[in-house]
Amino acid sequence: MGLTLTHKILESHLVSGKLIPGEEIAIKIDQTLTQDATGTMAYLEFEAIGIDRVKTEVSVSYVDHNILQTDFRNADDHKFLLSVAKRYGIWFSKPGNGICHQVHLERFAKPGKTLLGSDSHTPTAGGCGMIAIGAGGLDVAMAMAGKPFYLKMPKIVGVYLYGKLQPWVSARDIALYLLSKLTVKGGLGKVLEYFGPGTKTLTVPERGTLCNLGTEMGATTSIFPSDEITLSWLKAQDRVEDFVELKPDEDAKYDEIIEIDLSKIEPLCACPSSPDNVKRVTEEAGKPVAQVIIGSCANSSLKDLLIVSKVLERYKVHPDVSFEINPGSLQVLENLLALSGLKNILKGGTRIHQCGCLGCIGMGQAPPTNSISLRTFTRNFPGRSGTIPDFVYLVSPETAVASAIKGVITDPRELGDYPEIILPEKFIINDSLLVPPLPEEEAKKVEIVRGPNIVPLPHFDPLPEDLKGVFLLKVGDNITTDHIMPAGAKILPLRSNLPAISEYVYRNVDPEFSNKALEVKNKGLAVGIVGGENYGQGSSREHAALAPRYLGVRIKLAKSFARIHRSNLINFGILPLVFENKDDYNKIEPGDTFIIKNIRKALLEGEKKVKITIKGKEEIPAILELSQRERNCILAGSLLNLAKE
């Protein structure tokens, strides 16, 4: 039986376990990336491990999320990140150099290698033939220390592409089509491996868009073959030596196959307020639009901006629309300028922002009240834009620019002939905002710079013999990390100050949650949270586990968990329990007190189930589906405690 591309790369990096779906495996990590919203905590954790220098082939620290230096905190954190990079042998991408995933695809992605990133959209690098996985910062810190990354072996879903996209239809529309079929949880426990003749019609950045948005389906990662398209990309980046041809065997066996005729895809949009609320653009056409933004790690490549430039050569932005562009990288911006593309964009009535994430993570660009905003961003979770309520649609660059011109949601095919887009055979390469690692002896002399907002990690106590507590909160399905630990300009600067950021846990769900949790914790009791399906979907931010743990949360009982959030819970000693009978969800209410007797013994002896005794109610059985390594982590109170042991 032939092997898939995913199997080939995992097999060459396998440290332990068997490549059988559902079994825990450990793989060697070649590269890591962090961004500044998660990186400060990841490097505090790396320091706590006590390793003198990173042990990966390449590690890169990007500053792309919190680039608005509205006070000292972000600026101080950037100095901290630069000094850490110099001290420990890490590349540093300065503010303004671009979004981590776009820059990594340009300058560091290597076919056949593994990449672990403290950002959920790390799979973007799968567009260059990598196994690239998003994870919590502590997992990335362990990888930088030379430790393997543990995960459950996913199923491999082959996505067979054939045909060719129509004019005005893009890779974003393919991703939206898949989201409409799989939903935000349909990729859980799966890798999406693209193959077939249709892959040859997509550039590496377009492939990156598809791999990026697999995250919104819950996929572990997504990957394309490394072929002549990949070679062309690496030549253009002056990195031809990084090329290696990689593809699945002709008789590769997939766990499932999805077939997509690219010629049948049409312009699509994700309506408010979920990435899988997908409709045809024609169904929403005619609705007035106040704001249109092109950017994010999914759609800010040179081609994305060139199509905007070509359209604005013929049209002007509608006077009622704020049309904004966040270039994906300095390279994209400089090449756009060299191709005379920037002139059309500026003359057409566009606002140009910094090369960075900005509005996608809630750092500015909030839309007006009761107005529609079209964005080429990755997510449109409620309130993520900074406006509550918001009406955010996710669209392709083609749909975005067409709508910006017309002032209403518009099918881009109405614009007539699709303009010819010719990408350069060789990009202008400018690494002036990339700081390379220092030699080891020089690095040892570097002093870490710590601003007053950087607070050391607290000690987390081991799991007690009996877990007594209160279920303080009950939430529904598809709860996101934005619900748990909100993003935005007010909160993200607190990312390295755990006591301060903990005040915002579940702030938009229950404004008093943090105060209530601390009251329970101060009584010597544990805090519990009850959730529905796909609990913790969204970003990789470990603050959604770390901050609740600081407040005393020791158990989360849900119908199912998103992969990264579940791992983060375990890393910080929080029990992720799953209802054995999903109907039992209806039997628990906020304020119920509980006890789980002999929980340490159950973990030590490998028990698969526990009984939760709720005062005044019947016992509820819960599944304790944990590997031995995960059990040891929870028993110790955190992965850091376990590592020190």
Interaxial angle between packed helices 563-571 and 628-636, expressed in degrees from 0 to 180 and rounded to the nearest 10: 50
Give the tokens for residue 53: 């220098």
Mark whether 466 is an active-site residue: no
- Cα 14 to Cα 131: distance, rounded to the nearest angstrom: 12
The reply to whether omega before 322 is within 30° of 0 (cis) is no
Assess contact for 480 and 537: CB atoms under 8 A: yes
Give the tokens for residue 571: 């890393």
Task: Tell me the backbone φ, ψ of residue 93, rounded to 5 degrees.
Answer: -100, 115
Give the tokens for residue 380: 């449109």
Mark whether 549 is an active-site residue: no
- Cα 561 to Cα 185: distance, rounded to the nearest angstrom: 10
- As to burial, measured by CB atoms within 10 angstroms (0-12 exposed, 13-18 middle, 19+ buried), residue 420 is exposed
Say which of 7, 30, 36, 64 is annotated catalytic.
64
- Cα 251 to Cα 265: distance, rounded to the nearest angstrom: 27
Say which of 87, 483, 541, 554 is annotated catalytic.
541
Mark whether 461 is an active-site residue: no
Say which of 539, 540, 560, 567 is annotated catalytic.
539
- Cα 51 to Cα 88: distance, rounded to the nearest angstrom: 9
Mark whether 379 is an active-site residue: yes
Assess contact for 208 and 124: CB atoms under 8 A: yes
- Cα 362 to Cα 253: distance, rounded to the nearest angstrom: 42
CA angle 424, 425, 427 (to 5 degrees): 65
- Cα 272 to Cα 277: distance, rounded to the nearest angstrom: 7
Assess contact for 528 and 554: CB atoms under 8 A: yes
Say which of 30, 76, 77, 119 is annotated catalytic.
119
Would you give the DSSP letter of residue 269?
Answer: E
- Cα 38 to Cα 442: distance, rounded to the nearest angstrom: 27
Instruction: Show Cβ contacts of residue 404 under 8 Å, excluding neighbours closer than 6 positions.
Output: 289, 292, 317, 318, 321, 323, 374
- Cα 201 to Cα 207: distance, rounded to the nearest angstrom: 10
The reply to whether omega before 272 is within 30° of 0 (cis) is no
- Cα 353 to Cα 332: distance, rounded to the nearest angstrom: 13
Mark whether 119 is an active-site residue: yes
- Cα 280 to Cα 266: distance, rounded to the nearest angstrom: 7
Q: Minimal CA–CA distance to 108: which of 77, 139, 130? A: 130
Interaxial angle between packed helices 563-571 and 137-144, expressed in degrees from 0 to 180 and rounded to the nearest 10: 70
Three-class secondary structure of residue 518 per DSSP: helix
Q: Are strands 24-27 and 14-16 parallel, antiparallel or unpaired?
A: antiparallel
- Other CB atoms within a 10 A radius of the CB of residue 213 amount to 30
Would you give the DSSP letter of residue 447?
Answer: P
Say which of 379, 413, 495, 566 is annotated catalytic.
379
Q: Minimal CA–CA distance to 299: which of 270, 321, 256? A: 270
Distances in Å between the Cα of 194 and the Cα atoms of 129, 257, 636 are 10, 10, 40
β-bridge mates for residue 34, sequence order: 61
Which amino acid is present at 58?
A: V
Assess contact for 372 and 393: CB atoms under 8 A: yes
Say which of 65, 413, 495, 554 is annotated catalytic.
65
Q: Which residues are catalytic?
A: 64-65, 119, 379, 539, 541
